[in-house]
Amino acid sequence: MKKNTNVIVQKINGEYMIVPTMDGAVQMEKVYCVSDTGAFIWDCIPEECEIDIEQLIELVAKKYGISKDEIKEDIISFIDDLKKHNLVIDY
């Protein structure tokens, strides 16, 4: 997977917002808010090349010092939600 490049990411009042754009215009009705952990995962997803879910799980486990088994389902669910909102592209 990789990031959809038609988005803007902003941190406002401590909240991270991913805002899709279309033809240069922001799509405010489709704003997607994420936690600090979600923002970390988002930052780990590249725009130009691909990363797989196992690599993301490894990065998050290492960053937060927890086992991959503890976070696997949550990360899969988060990524599925990003895909549903067309914020990441699966290849």
For 16-42, what is each residue's pLDDT tens digit? 999 999 888 888 888 999 999 999 999
Percent share of the chain, pLDDT over 70: 100
Distance CA 51, CA 25 (A): 28
Query: pTM score, two decimals?
Result: 0.87
> What amino acid occupies position 19?
V
pLDDT at 15 over 90: no
**φ, ψ for residue 77 (rounded to 5)?**
-65, -45
CA 39 from centre of chain: 6
Mean pLDDT of the 77-87 span: 94
Q: What angle do CA 9, 90, 81 make, to 5 degrees?
A: 55
Distance CA 54, CA 50 (A): 12
Average pLDDT, the chain: 91
Distance CA 26, CA 80 (A): 22
Report the SS3 class of residue 7.
strand
Report the SS3 class of residue 34.
strand
